[in-house]
Amino acid sequence: MKRKIELVNNELTKIYPANTALNSILADSMNYSLSAGGKRLRPIMLMAAADAAGTNGEAFCRIACALEFVHTYSLIHDDLPAMDNDDYRRGKLTNHKVYGDATAILAGDALLTMAFDIITSVNTVKPDILLKVIKELAYAAGAEGMVGGQVIDLQSENKRINIDELRKLHSAKTGALFCAAIRIGAILAEASDEQLQALTRYAKEFGLAFQITDDILDVIGDNEKIGKPVGSDEKNHKSTYVSLLSLEKAQKLAKASVDNAVQALDIFGDTADFLQSLAKYLLTRQN
């Protein structure tokens, strides 16, 4: 895991400074959030899915980084005063607290746009495959995925939603991009339909377990380790798996999702070991 994070971080440094010569403040703002760390889960999952399907996933590290651009843009916009109004992220001030709202909005816009530029610049993958990759990403990040989920999230503040609505919200807001990461890895590996379906099942269960454990951490986590204040869901009157189900039931549901995720990859041999471990790690994550 540590080695994979370093691989992604190293690749990220190769991409972003070279592409931002026009305006140094915009470049600084983009780089500030891109280099803020994080687990690089989406790029790592993309590469691991390609590994599972029998190719060398690291060969797709550049495309994997495009997902981190999209993820980073979404965090910058989510943190804005007009949205969640968060001051801290990963232990650092949020982008708009440092660069102001306007530059933060534009840095997010530029990161999203550049993600597509990055993918089209890859010349080691066949054009028809790259187009499928772009389509997966654009769909997952758009109105039917991440952005749509964020709108539902904002609409759901200060009111009690039920567990089905919560699931729909997160399946769009965070699940869609995990799903795209895994599916893009499979597409790049030219996986069979059976493999693609199994990996998609894994991604959906992973996304669910990720969100439940995120909600749990917001209740019982450690400020220092998370890098932002715990209790923000309660403060923002957000429905969570914990508030709707109880802590104990949420923990059980997380465990069940992880089991399902692991099981979904049974058709693979040990090429899927890493993805299975990644799902299990969610149950012990501390940030």
Under the binding rule (CB under 8 A), the answer on residue 34 touching a second copy is no
- Residue placing its CB nearer to a second copy in the complex, 127 or 164: 127
Among residues 63, 106, 182, 278, the one that binds a second copy under rule CB under 8 A: 106
Which one, of 275, 266, 253, 273, lies nearest residue 183 by Cα? 275
Token digits for 37? 């760390």
Among residues 10, 56, 113, 162, the one that binds a second copy under rule CB under 8 A: 113
- Residue placing its CB nearer to a second copy in the complex, 99 or 274: 99
Strands 88-89 and 92-93: antiparallel
Taking CB under 8 A as the criterion, which residues in 181-220 touch a second copy? Answer: none
- Coil, strand or helix: which one is 266? coil
Under the binding rule (CB under 8 A), the answer on residue 63 touching a second copy is no
Under the binding rule (CB under 8 A), the answer on residue 25 touching a second copy is yes
CB–CB of 240/233 below 8 Å? yes
Under the binding rule (CB under 8 A), the answer on residue 134 touching a second copy is yes
Indicate the burial class of 24 (C-beta count within 10 angstroms; 0-12, 13-18, 19 or more): exposed
Under the binding rule (CB under 8 A), the answer on residue 23 touching a second copy is yes
The nearest distance, CB 150 to a second copy, in angstroms, is 6
Could you tell me which stretch among 100-108, 211-219, 240-248, 274-282 binds a second copy (CB under 8 A)? 100-108
Among residues 58, 91, 139, 217, the one that binds a second copy under rule CB under 8 A: 139
Token digits for 45? 């999952």
Under the binding rule (CB under 8 A), the answer on residue 108 touching a second copy is yes
For the four alpha carbons of 131, 137, 141 and 146, in that order, the dihedral sign comes to: positive
The nearest distance, CB 163 to a second copy, in angstroms, is 18
Rounded alpha-carbon distances, angstroms, from residue 17 to 13, 30, 71, 112, 215:
7, 9, 18, 16, 35
Under the binding rule (CB under 8 A), the answer on residue 147 touching a second copy is yes
Token digits for 153? 């999230």
Rounded to 5 degrees, what are φ and ψ at 89?
-150, 125
Taking CB under 8 A as the criterion, which residues in 150-179 touch a second copy? Answer: 150-152, 154-155, 172
For the CA atoms of 146, 180, 39, 118, the dihedral, rounded to the nearest 10 degrees, stands at -90
Binding residues vs a second copy (CB under 8 A): 19-23, 25-27, 30, 73, 77, 80, 82-83, 100-103, 105-106, 108-110, 112-114, 116-117, 120-121, 126-128, 130-132, 134-135, 137-139, 141-144, 147-152, 154-155, 172
